Chain A
Amino acid sequence: MMDAIDQHIIQLTQTGLPLVSKPYHLIAEQLGISADEVMARMRTMQENGIIRRIGAVPNHYKLGYTFNGMTVWDVDDEMIDTLGRQVGALDFVSHCYHRPRHLPEWSYNLFAMVHGKTQESVDAEIAQIKVLLGEHCRAHTVLFSTRILKKTGLRIKG
């Protein structure tokens, strides 16, 4: 599905899109192909999901979202897909996944990231998820992040 030229485009853009008037032309020059080809390939990668989106990724903290909680829930396995989709549809949830338990220490299988500018707003979000999961949830906890230790985005080797 991806060839060597796509790989090169990824390598040249994974740290960011050039901040120049014609960024796709600059990438094209670096690769020795036409800008039209770069744009066509990037559109294709976007259509088939290799590129999730092109855009800005803010640092939560710098925008005032200092309460970033990873909420984790122990949900009935047979209900998790239905409930996971419902939790993922909440407008304050940024990521929602089914992940494996590590019993007996870690019984949580549903992960939902929530973000807020105040403790109260995040508490209200968590309460809303709890109501949604209802009797299908045995236990939950919230792991707040206290520091970003690293944030570089994905890298593949050049």
Chain B
Amino acid sequence: MDELDKKIINHLQSGFPICESPYQQVANELGISESQLLARLQTLLANGVLSRFGPLYHAEQMGGALTLAAVKAPTESFDEVAKIINAFPEVAHNYAREHELNMWFVIATEQPERLLEVIAEIEQQTGLQVYNMPKINEYFVGLKLEA
């Protein structure tokens, strides 16, 4: 990753235009060519520096449901539990964390009633209790991480 990559990452965290040639517009702002920008983005996505590029949708505003959930996965079956949980397309992210509750994941479903079904299925397949922690209030979502 070089200075140009960092510039691109920092710039694109604050938004992206909706217009006929948006990459051209951003490239102009960065003082590079459109093809250069597209090539850099391709590489940053391919090597995982960017996990996504595009619209970030708001699950609840789309009529879906979202929750944060956690399990206490035994050390000896940790990877197996992760595999079961990750296999659900409704699980958007999953993180290992240092705590007795050592696996934390976000479940997003299109149909709100599906959320509790997914939790029940995870409990059944893993044999573990799922701690469901849906948000009661959202105070802030955002942040730019400077590259």
Contacts and interface: CB of A to CB of B under 8 A. Distances in A.
A59 B44 CA distance: 10
Nearest to B139: A88
Contacts of B74: none
A29 to B, nearest CB: 14
A137 interface: no
Main secondary structure of the interface of B (DSSP, over half): mixed
A153 B145 contact: no
A124 B128 CA distance: 35
Contacts of A148: 93-95
B21 interface: yes
Contact of A150 (B13, B59, B93): B93
Contact of A57 (B14, B56, B99): B56
B4 interface: no
Interface string A10-48: 100111110111111100000000010001001101101
A88 B139 CA distance: 6
Main secondary structure of the interface of A (DSSP, over half): mixed
Contact of B55 (A42, A70, A80, A149): A42
A157 B20 contact: no
A51 B145 contact: no
Nearest to B92: A154
Interface string B5-38: 0001100111110111111100000000010001
Given A19-B42, A54-B18, A58-B49, A150 B94 contact: yes
A9 to B, nearest CB: 9
Interface in B20-77: 20-24, 34, 38, 41-42, 44-45, 47-59, 61-64, 66, 68
24 contacts: A19-B38, A21-B21, A39-B19, A42-B18, A45-B55, A49-B58, A49-B61, A52-B141, A55-B14, A55-B16, A65-B145, A96-B138, A96-B139, A97-B138, A98-B135, A98-B139, A100-B136, A102-B131, A144-B98, A145-B95, A150-B86, A151-B51, A153-B51, A155-B92
Given A45-B55, A51-B58, A143-B101, 8 more contacts: A2-B63, A53-B15, A54-B55, A57-B13, A63-B49, A63-B145, A149-B96, A153-B93
